[in-house]
Amino acid sequence: MVAGRPTVVIVDDSDQLRRLVTSRLERSGLFDVVGEGRDGTEAIGLAYQHQPDLVLLDTSMPAMDGLEALPGILEVSPGSRVVMYTGFEEPSLAEVARELGAADFIAKSHPIERIPERLAEVVGVPARPRTPPLAAVTPRTERNEQDQQILADHLGRFRDIFDVAAIGMATLTLNGTVVRANRALASLFLAQPHELVGVDYGRLTSGRGAQFDEALESIKRGEDSFAFEHQVAGYSTPQIARATLAPVHDSEGVPLFAFLQVQDITAQRAAEDRFRRSEERFRLLVSAVQEYAIFMLDTEGRVISWNAGAQRIKGYRAEEIVGKHFRVFYPEQQQRIRHPEDELRIALQRGSYAEEGWRIRKDGGRFWASVVITAVFDDAGKHVGFAKVTRDQTERRLAEEGRERVLEQQLRLLAVTGHELGTPTAVIDATVESVLGDDQLSEKERTRLLTEVRTSTRRLQNLSSDLLTASRIDAGSLTLRPSPTTLASVLHGAADRARIAAPAADVRVSGDLDADLTVDPVRIGQAVDNLIGNALRHGRPPVLVEGRIAPADPDRVIIKVSDSGPGVDQEIRDRLFDRFVAGTRAGGAGLGLYVVQEVSRLHGGEARYEPPAEEHPGGFVLEIPRHAQSESS
């Protein structure tokens, strides 16, 4: 028992509460209040200075909380009785406080008018009997009791929710000591709720204590909340928790304690990590793709990403094109009519847009592009840009055009062949019918008719030969069979065949006829036949067939077939040696000169047309080596 009135030091960070308690203790006449403090560090200093009989100590205070200060107070003032005075009504907290040396544990919900009696019991001072005034039992007192009961009910429901919540929750002192924890938080740390009470939460953050202290300081400064992530120890695989601290204030806005929410986000982080890795793999895949230009546009059509395929196809490096509008890939005509912008508009309306068309490379060259543009939206449905995939389809386009040309040529061939076959077969049919049906024909008339049959037959043979040769050239199967011969044999043979087909033909041969050759006599003969036939059909007699050893190169021979006509029309001179190109005056299959050109190339030479000049008639020139090597086209 203490002689005289016990001395008391009151420590609480609430000035209002300190004044209220001090007033109550002094009015009771039981105690002398010798000091007041705001945090644990001041409590230790006051205890050392005054050596009080009693220290009334708050739990949650800035700088140093009550549980941290309790051992220090007893160290500097062993005779003092320390009573914890706290807003946390937690049995586990009371047990921790008593283990640290507290003499009693009083909740701030305890009626303040009874605090003197409670403290008197702690120090062994007889309490004066309380004689409540008559007004104590009044409707107002009953109403206060009813209000207190309602408050207690609400507090009870809150505690029930707190305890069964699926997310980890705790109340902490402003220095981070756990004063109450729910089952979810304890389960996360593989503990029981009471085992966490009195523990500095910073010790549970696996090395993130500094960040936890920063969070405490931020809410003391007035911030609404502070969140950070930390690992949870004790698991075979890393577990990640997200901790959010928020202050709880008194009526004057002063922080009383901290409220902590802790959520296990291990699965969420694992899913995000998988998604991140997936995105990174996709990004690497897109970056590595060479066959497709895959890039992003912003909502206005400016390039914001670029892959290796885009650089290969379009020729721009990323630093050259990012930030520029994608209209630079389009021909000027399409830019003028705002076709690129129309593509984006349609893609936004329909979700995507696809087309094929010509595009422009950095170097100005064209390529045939297959394009797909897709509108891109974020998770909230906001339009964020466009994804554009382009593939260079030039080879396919050229192949299609080639097939179209082949089909067109085949149709042309059928039409021309039908036409070219029609005339000679009609002549042959009519002539045979005349010869067989008219016994009165004279010998001269019979001979004339049979000559026409021979001419038509020869025409059919030439057509057949040119068709077969052209098909072999296209198939790459035309083979030369060179053999020794002379220029005279080649030229006179062709002239003779022309005279047989057309006895009235005026064909004259001249030149270095004794020159020896090693050529394919059949193919060269066919080429000269076509040149003579071309002159007879389209030109005017006489037809001059001249063979000379090239003046500049004695190992080459020049064969020229000319006539006295006006020459080839200017409009078709550039296409003379193409397939199915024929003069307009006398028709023809349009294969003869094509065969001439290809046969001359197979022999290592060339064919060309020389238009008429002053004293020189126009004609076709076949220039080849005198001695060809055997090869196939």
Q: Which domain CATH number covers 176?
A: 3.30.450.20
Report the pLDDT value the prediction gives residue 145, as an integer from 0 to 100.
Answer: 55
Q: Where are the alpha helices (DSSP H) in 306-438?
A: 308-314, 318-321, 332-336, 339-350, 394-437
Residue with tokens 């200075």: 49
Report the pLDDT value the prediction gives residue 618, as an integer from 0 to 100.
Answer: 85
Phi first, then psi, for residue 173 (nearest 5°) are: -70, 165
Report the pLDDT value the prediction gives residue 249, as an integer from 0 to 100.
Answer: 78
Domain-located, residue 545: yes
Take residue 126 and report the two structure tokens written for it: 């007889």
Report the pLDDT value the prediction gives residue 632, as an integer from 0 to 100.
Answer: 45
Q: Which of 495, 343, 267, 109 is nearest to 118 (CA)?
A: 109
The answer to whether the beta carbons of residues 168 and 261 sit under 8 Å apart is: yes
Take residue 265 and report the two structure tokens written for it: 């986000």
- What lies within 8 Å, CB to CB, of 426 at 6+ separation is none
Quick count: other Cβ atoms within 10 Å of Cβ 128?
A: 12
| 387 and 422 together in one domain | no
Distance CA 521, CA 485 (A): 7
Query: 180: buried, middle or exposed (CB in 10 Å: 19+, 13-18, 0-12)?
Result: buried
Could you give the 3-state DSSP secondary structure of residue 370? strand
Total domain count, the chain: 5
Report the pLDDT value the prediction gives residue 356, as an integer from 0 to 100.
Answer: 94
| 224 and 313 together in one domain | no
Report the pLDDT value the prediction gives residue 223, as an integer from 0 to 100.
Answer: 85
Residue with tokens 């016994």: 439
Report the pLDDT value the prediction gives residue 90, as an integer from 0 to 100.
Answer: 73
Report the pLDDT value the prediction gives residue 135, as an integer from 0 to 100.
Answer: 43
Domain-located, residue 88: yes
Please list the rounded mean pLDDT of every run of 10 residues in the chain (633 residues).
81 86 89 91 90 91 84 91 84 85 87 88 74 45 50 51 80 87 90 89 90 88 87 88 86 80 87 74 58 91 92 93 95 95 95 94 94 92 93 89 77 61 67 75 77 71 73 77 92 87 87 92 88 87 93 94 86 79 57 85 91 84 86 47
Positive or negative torsion for Cα 530, 535, 536, 542: negative
The answer to whether the beta carbons of residues 52 and 73 sit under 8 Å apart is: no
Positive or negative torsion for Cα 199, 205, 206, 212: negative
The answer to whether the beta carbons of residues 512 and 621 sit under 8 Å apart is: no
| 488 and 605 together in one domain | yes
| 608 and 483 together in one domain | yes
Q: Which of 246, 354, 376 is nearest to 301 (CA)?
A: 376
Last residue of a domain, one of 372, 392, 412: 392
Distance CA 129, CA 342 (A): 94
CA 89, chain centre distance (Å)? 58
CA 615, chain centre distance (Å)? 71
Look up the domain containing 22 and give its range: 7-131
Distance CA 21, CA 15 (A): 10
The answer to whether the beta carbons of residues 380 and 411 sit under 8 Å apart is: no
Last residue of a domain, one of 392, 408, 426: 392
| 419 and 547 together in one domain | no
Report the pLDDT value the prediction gives residue 560, as an integer from 0 to 100.
Answer: 94
